[in-house]
A and B are shown apart, each in its own frame.
Chain A
């Protein structure tokens, strides 16, 4: 009798740990630009990941998240990844933000056999090297350019294009794709300018572009330079039929808020708040409530990447090799639409993500292309000129 009751007591006492054990535990590394010039976008990624961890917990998955700051530099990213793989023994890694860092980590993932999901770094080559351990959720810079030129040629008959890009991995890759696709669309490239970011004065470059009178001006820049380039375009009086921004700086809230210069600018984007993918509206509302800012595509891709990595590792019992197989075969449908890491058109483990085009109309970001995703308001084309 006594033995029986003590057994019951023992069972009762240990019961909570059984309940607790039902929660799967996974260990995930998160490499991100927490400080450094890319920090504002890094913050969006961090916020997206924070929401993902909360949701995973609700699904019974406890994430032991190890955050590493790469300050936007590839060498720091690499050191962080090596630490995560060899000393923290994480099951998988999510991040980093800049393309140059992501390109470096893709090779390390292969070396250490740890799967990595790259949420939003878009340089084409990253998933074009046949790497088996690298998975990318976002569309590539090639798609950034393609969707914009598709749209411009659908709206009107532009003949010439000027390309301005910052001379980084992301910028050059975007400009190269734009140039190639422009040739296919019978557009003549009248100017190509690769600039070093951080200069206070682009006026001379913009003035020489104005002299060539292009129909389209295509720009690839991060946050601050996007605003600067548009300010100085207005100053110089550069008025093409459309300003096309390849995501990044042009798809941010800070840019949209500068109404004098952002009005009617088009930007390609991975995600918008009014797109009809499951959970988008709720995500946007929750993000706003929690962080007091508008959610950007950087936040949504980071969120979805972390959710996928968490769920996969829970299924794989935190085993990197098994997780890799599950990522290879799996399919998800969430705020980024259907995600499937597929091999196609020279890509390996690349999600064939549908890009969108948004236009800034009086500070509001409106989805205007492709037609199936349009939310109501019509696109303004051609560019009506600067307001005085």
Chain B
């Protein structure tokens, strides 16, 4: 029983970070209908920014989010303004090629700058844990979950209560109608992409104290983000949150009860089942 609770808790904690990655992707898709295949690479940039700030200026990874987030927001906005914007009306495969290409440029530039060595961020608390009734909870993971929760709540508030947030949601619902209502759709797209990159980078910063960093780390997270987004329903922020936690828990529990080699299978079977019974995802709206 304690093993079950243990894996459930670590699944939820890691799922929180997955959710953050998924939310970024889903916002970008919702507003622009572009699947951002450079999403994992944006996360990787966040990791390297955190690593750089930590080793050069001794800024704690969790504190450095304050710097990484706005920086990556600007970077994402720049990418949207000068690259993504040009292919918004192009064929989907061209959009995919562009984002994959951007991702490759990012990962290879980082490889030139930092070499392909694995970087390990060792903080005092990297492998410390708190013990509760025989269940150990990773301290850095707990902190990052708390930060994720705060960010997600702030994001909901932003999307639901502010004018800009409502404009983003309107654009996501119907780009043409939003334009007719006088919403500056171009600006919303820039904000959405900036927001998406900032969230991906934050997720990168949050896992860097417990994970390792290398230029190609992004690809596995791009896939994960994609699965989370599709599972939750493309474009749905609540769906992505739910999807992230679901994937985290499925991996963790699957790892214990089916063996660690099978945990991916558990995740993808779950994924297929959801798609089979709810083709538009858990909380997605159907196209009709």
A residues apposed to B, CB below 8 Å: 35-37, 39-40, 43, 167, 193-196, 198-205, 207-208, 211, 223-224, 227-228, 231-232, 234-237, 254, 258, 260-261
Contacts and interface: CB of A to CB of B under 8 A. Distances in A.
Contacts of A43: 115-117
A40 B3 contact: no
Nearest to B10: A203
B211 A235 contact: no
Interface in B24-57: none
B251 A254 contact: no
A211 B3 contact: yes
Interface in B85-119: 111, 115-118
A199 B251 CA distance: 9
Contact of A36 (B11, B14, B216, B260): B216
A204 B261 contact: no
A208 B212 contact: no
A200 B209 CA distance: 11
A36 B248 CA distance: 26
Given A224-B214, A258-B122, A205 B255 contact: yes
Contacts, number: 111
Interface in B121-163: 122, 126-129, 131, 136, 138
A260 to B, nearest CB: 6
Contact of B127 (A40, A167, A224, A260): A260
Interface of B: 3, 6-7, 10-11, 14, 111, 115-118, 120, 122, 126-129, 131, 136, 138, 207, 210-212, 214, 216, 220, 248, 251-253, 255-256, 259-261, 263-264
| Interface-central residue, A194, A200, A232, A254, by most chain B CB under 10 Å | A200
Contacts of A193: 259-261
Dominant SS among interface residues on chain A:
helix
Nearest to A72: B216
Contact of B255 (A204, A211, A227): A204
Contacts of A203: 6-7, 10, 138, 252
24 contacts: A39-B214, A43-B115, A196-B260, A196-B261, A196-B263, A198-B220, A199-B263, A200-B207, A201-B248, A202-B260, A203-B10, A203-B138, A203-B252, A204-B252, A204-B255, A205-B256, A207-B7, A224-B214, A231-B127, A235-B127, A237-B136, A254-B118, A260-B126, A260-B127
Contacts of A261: 127
B116 A227 contact: no
Nearest to A234: B127
A210 B136 CA distance: 12
B261 A235 contact: no
Given A37-B214, A224-B212, A227-B212, 9 more contacts: A196-B263, A201-B10, A201-B251, A202-B260, A203-B6, A204-B6, A204-B255, A236-B136, A254-B117
